[in-house]
């Protein structure tokens, strides 16, 4: 390992492989095949639906309507209203989640006593079946018999009960808190795994050089962690924008539509009202916006991939 460190210290130039190796195909194909069969085909079909007037119904005729759905979609104020809420939700959850998870991952990466237990407990939100998660949080937020209000009152932080999920101002922050909670394990574990992969020799070498904790983090940890950070925040953002089940259980989109996420909107279009064509176009619109955001966010990473 000393050789490796030495080479690294000498700042070896990255060797770039050119050309195409058949071996690569052998390694990649098994993973891509199921994805292609079971997700590309349905996706293409979904995109096609967006250009039709498909509706739920036995032997229902379908006509290709070109961009009619998209024209309608542009004028759909309800949808864009929910889109705005969706962005607040997705960005809010992703950013808070990342900040909180990074802190926790750094703590868990230290030599603290009982950290295996701490690491295990970190997984709780994720290990709990989604069926009960929403119900549990409803109980926690219950304005009268909820453990949150009773705890806050015991701590004298509030004097009267707060109706978290029915407040026009607090409902969205309250569900964002649940969103952060629910996604913490994924983000934390991912970041922790990234931290563990930072070669200890590097940190030690930097410590010997007399670097402070913050300097070490900036110079050694962060650069090694960055690809993981990019990967997980991008995924978190996507997952959050696609999320609606959890929020639906908590508020059903209320009060007064304050927590109505765009994917809930599209889901209801398809499954409740049966407008498959229009729902598909809503889905595609959401995807396009997300892709633009991501392309901007990931441009550097994708450039490196070539």
Partner 1 sequence: MQRRTLLAVVPAALVAAGTAGCSSGSSDGPVTLRFLSLAWQKESIAANKKLVAEWNKKNPKIQVKYVQGSWDNVHDQLVTAFEGGDAPDVIHDESPDIAGFAAQNYLQDLTDLLPSALKNDISAQSWDTVKFAGGGIYGVPFLQESQIFVANRKLLQQAKVRIPTVDAPWTWDEYAEVCRKLTVKGKQYGVAWPLSAPVNKVLNLSLNFDGTFFGTSGGKTTVHVGDNEKQVLRRIHDQLWVDHSADPATVGMKGADPLPAFFAGKYAMVPAGVYFRQQVVQGAPKGFDWVTIPPLKGTSQHQGATSQTLSIPADGKNQKQAMQFISFLLNGPNQATLALGDWLVPTSKEAAKDPRLTTTKDDWNVATASQQNLVVAPYLKVDGFDEWKTKVATPAMQQYFNNKISLDALATKLVKDGNEVLKRYQK
Partner 2 sequence: MSTARRGGVGTPLKYLALLGYLVFLAFPLAWLASTALKTPREMASLDPTWIPRHPTLANFAEAFREQNLTQSAGNSLLVALTAAVLTVLLALPAAYALVRFRSVLNKLALAWVLVSQVFPFILVIIPLFMILKQLDLVNTRGGLILVYLTFNLPFALWMLQGYVRGVPKELEEAASVDGAGRLRVLRTVVAPLLAPGVVATFLFAFISSWNEFMFALVLLKDPDLATLPLTLVRFTGADGVARLGPLAAAALLATIPSLALFAVIQRRLTAGLLAGAVKG
Whether omega before 153 lies within 30 degrees of 0, making that bond cis, reads no
Q: Which does 67 bind (CB under 5 to 8 A by kind): partner 2, partner 1, none?
A: none
| Residue 49 to residue 96: CA distance in whole angstroms | 36
139 binds partner 2 (CB under 8 A): yes
Q: Please, are residues 251 and 171 in contact by the beta-carbon 8 Å criterion? A: yes
Give the shortest CB-138-to-partner 2 separation in angstroms: 7
| Residue 206 to residue 218: CA distance in whole angstroms | 11
208 binds partner 2 (CB under 8 A): no
Provide the binding-site residues for partner 1, judged by CB under 8 A.
Answer: 41, 44-45, 49, 52, 54-62, 78, 142-145, 161, 163, 165-168, 251-257, 260, 268, 271-274, 276
Quick one: 63 or 226, whose CB is closer to partner 1? 63
- Candidates 87, 174, 220, 228: give the one binding partner 2 (CB under 8 A): 228
Tokens matching residue 190? 């991912």
Using the contact rule CB under 8 A, the part of the chain among 62-70, 77-85, 86-94, 132-140 near partner 2 is: 132-140
Q: Please, are residues 93 and 179 in contact by the beta-carbon 8 Å criterion? A: yes
* 52 bridge partner residues: 64
> Which residue has tokens 């119900």?
135
253 binds partner 2 (CB under 8 A): no
| Residue 91 to residue 78: CA distance in whole angstroms | 20
Give the shortest CB-143-to-partner 2 separation in angstroms: 11
| Contact code string over 100-129 relative to partner 2, x by CB under 8 A | x-xxx-xxx-xxx--xxxxxxxxxxxxxxx
User: Where are the strands (E) in 219-295, listed by range?
Assistant: none
Cα angle 122, 123, 124; round to 5: 95
Give the shortest CB-293-to-partner 2 separation in angstroms: 10
Cα angle 97, 100, 106; round to 5: 130
| Contact code string over 19-58 relative to partner 2, x by CB under 8 A | xxx-xx--xx-xxx-xx-xxxxxxx-xxx-x---------
Give the shortest CB-242-to-partner 2 separation in angstroms: 5
Q: Which does 35 bind (CB under 5 to 8 A by kind): partner 2, partner 1, none?
A: partner 2
Q: Which does 294 bind (CB under 5 to 8 A by kind): partner 1, partner 2, none?
A: partner 2
70 binds partner 2 (CB under 8 A): no
Q: Which does 163 bind (CB under 5 to 8 A by kind): partner 1, partner 2, none?
A: partner 1
| Residue 156 to residue 161: CA distance in whole angstroms | 11
> Which residue has tokens 């542009």?
74
Tokens matching residue 36? 């292609």
| Residue 123 to residue 121: CA distance in whole angstroms | 5
* 64 bridge partner residues: 52
| Residue 203 to residue 183: CA distance in whole angstroms | 29
Give the shortest CB-205-to-partner 1 separation in angstroms: 56
Give the shortest CB-179-to-partner 2 separation in angstroms: 13
Tell me the number of residues near partner 2 by CB under 8 A: 123
Q: Which does 274 bind (CB under 5 to 8 A by kind): partner 1, partner 2, none?
A: partner 1
| Residue 45 to residue 42: CA distance in whole angstroms | 5
Contact positions with partner 2 (CB under 8 A) in 144-203: 144-147, 150, 181, 184-186, 189-190, 192-194, 196-200
């Amino acid at each position: 390992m000393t050789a490796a460190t030495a080479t690294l210290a000498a700042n070896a130039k990255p060797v770039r492989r050119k050309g195409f190796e058949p071996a690569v195909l052998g390694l990649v194909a098994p993973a891509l095949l199921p994805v292609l069969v079971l997700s590309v085909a349905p996706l293409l079909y979904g995109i096609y639906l967006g250009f039709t007037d498909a509706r739920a119904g036995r032997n229902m005729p379908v006509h290709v309507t070109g961009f009619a759905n998209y024209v309608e979609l542009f004028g759909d104020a309800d949808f864009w209203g929910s889109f705005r809420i969706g962005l607040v939700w997705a960005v809010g959850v992703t950013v808070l989640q990342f900040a909180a998870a990074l802190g926790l991952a750094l703590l868990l990466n230290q030599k603290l006593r009982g950290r295996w237990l701490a690491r295990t407990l970190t997984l709780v939100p994720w290990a709990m079946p989604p069926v009960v998660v929403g119900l549990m949080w409803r109980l926690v937020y219950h304005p009268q018999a909820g453990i949150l209000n009773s705890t806050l009152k015991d701590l004298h932080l509030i004097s009267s009960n707060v109706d978290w999920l029915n407040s026009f101002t607090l409902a969205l922050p309250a569900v964002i808190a649940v969103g952060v909670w629910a996604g913490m394990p994924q983000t934390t574990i991912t970041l922790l795994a990234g931290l563990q992969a930072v070669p200890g020799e590097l940190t030690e070498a930097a410590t010997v050089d007399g670097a402070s904790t913050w300097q070490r983090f900036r110079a050694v940890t962060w650069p090694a962690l960055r690809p993981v950070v990019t990967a997980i925040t991008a995924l978190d953002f996507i997952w959050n924008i696609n999320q609606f089940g959890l929020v639906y259980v908590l508020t059903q989109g209320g009060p007064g539509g304050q927590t109505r996420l765009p994917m809930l909107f599209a889901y209801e279009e398809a499954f409740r009202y049966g407008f498959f064509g229009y729902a598909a176009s809503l889905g595609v619109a959401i995807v396009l916006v997300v892709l633009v955001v991501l392309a901007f966010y990931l441009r550097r990473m994708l450039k490196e991939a070539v």
